[in-house]
Amino acid sequence: MPAIQTEALTKSYRYTEQRPGLSAAVRGLFRPDRRERLAVDALDLTVPRGQVIGLLGPNGAGKTTTIKMLCGLLRPTAGELEVLGHRPSKRGYDFLSRISVVFGQKSMLWWDVSTYDSLLIHKEMYALAKPRFDQTVEDLSNRLQIQDILNIAVRKLSLGQRMRCELMLALLHGPELLFADEPTVGLDVVAKLTVRTFLAELNRDLGTTIVLTSHDMNDVAALCERIVVINHGRPVFDGDLPALRARSHDGDDLDQVMSKLFTAQA
């Protein structure tokens, strides 16, 4: 059974368009201009267990919407979706205890307490035995090189330190599947390298399936054995890095290849 299986996965949003001006606002009360926007358009995707896959695309392509459906934060409008044998939208405990999500621009850590205090809260949430908790904390803190900052208030940490602590918190319960949405956004070169190395080790040593979204092609090149590019909610490329590089012309780098791929599908 694959880690992720989708068939014609679709998500659309309904909204009311408000035109400028007082008269338009009054008309809108009686005759609202209702529209529908398709964020994900009949996406077919199969991700084997243990794979590191890069889900790429321009802003507004549907990447984050797809991630949110895969982890159960959004309900699909249509189509079939199964993750680790579960329907994510049911948000069952067994499902949630087997996945984890890291959003690069959103924090799970409590701002005014230490990372260790947040870890203790998650220990109770997932009913982790103390020996397992202690061993996991030691292992992850060593891998992420954050042993000396676990007891410092989160608000006093740098962005790179906070992201490493976020990863530790997300992986405390030993999930089989990690969704990493822009995990290196805003980080400096050294911090990015630390995060990439850690994610590669996580997959290699524990077999964790990783779905990565990133605008940094260095993240993709370092981690992803498979790349799926989506635009306007549809896949426009599915293959490995050499196949993506093969689309280059006249010495284009990966960013240029991606740009041309988006433009061609606009």
Residue 1 domain-assigned (yes or no): no
Range of the domain at 146: 106-174
The tens digit of pLDDT for each residue in 105-121 reads 778 888 899 999 999 99
> Which whole number is the average pLDDT over 137-163?
92
Count how many domains the chain has: 1
pLDDT at position 83 over 90: yes
Give the predicted TM-score (pTM) of the model. Answer: 0.87
Any domain includes 63 = no
- For residue 43, being part of any structural domain is answered with no
Could you give the count of Cα atoms lying within 13 Å of 109 in the half-sphere of its Cβ? 30
pLDDT band at 235 (very low <50, low <70, confident <90, very high): confident
List the alpha helices (DSSP H) in 103-231.
Answer: 115-125, 130-144, 159-170, 189-206, 217-223
* Residue 263 placed within a domain: no
As a whole number of angstroms, the distance between CA 55 and CA 235 comes to 10
Confidence class of residue 138 from pLDDT cuts 50, 70 and 90?
very high
- Mean pLDDT, the chain, whole residue set: 87
The verdict on residue 162 lying in a domain is yes
Give residue 177's pLDDT band: very low, low, confident or very high (50, 70, 90).
very high
Q: H helices then E strands: how many in the chain?
A: 10, 9
Q: Using H for helix, E for strand and C for coil, what is the string for 201-260?
A: HHHHHHCCEEEEECCCHHHHHHHCCEEEEEECCEEEEEECHHHHHCCCCCCCCHHHHHHH
pLDDT over threshold 70, residue 265? no
- Could you tell me if residue 10 is inside a domain? no
Residue 21 scores a pLDDT above 80: no
Answer whether residue 251 shows pLDDT above 90.
no
pLDDT of residue 22: 75
Segment 85-113 mean pLDDT: 89
Residue 266 confidence (pLDDT) above 90:
no
pLDDT at 199 over 90: yes
Flag whether pLDDT at 259 surpasses 80.
no
For residue 217, is it within any domain? Answer: no
Note whether residue 136 is domain-resident.
Answer: yes
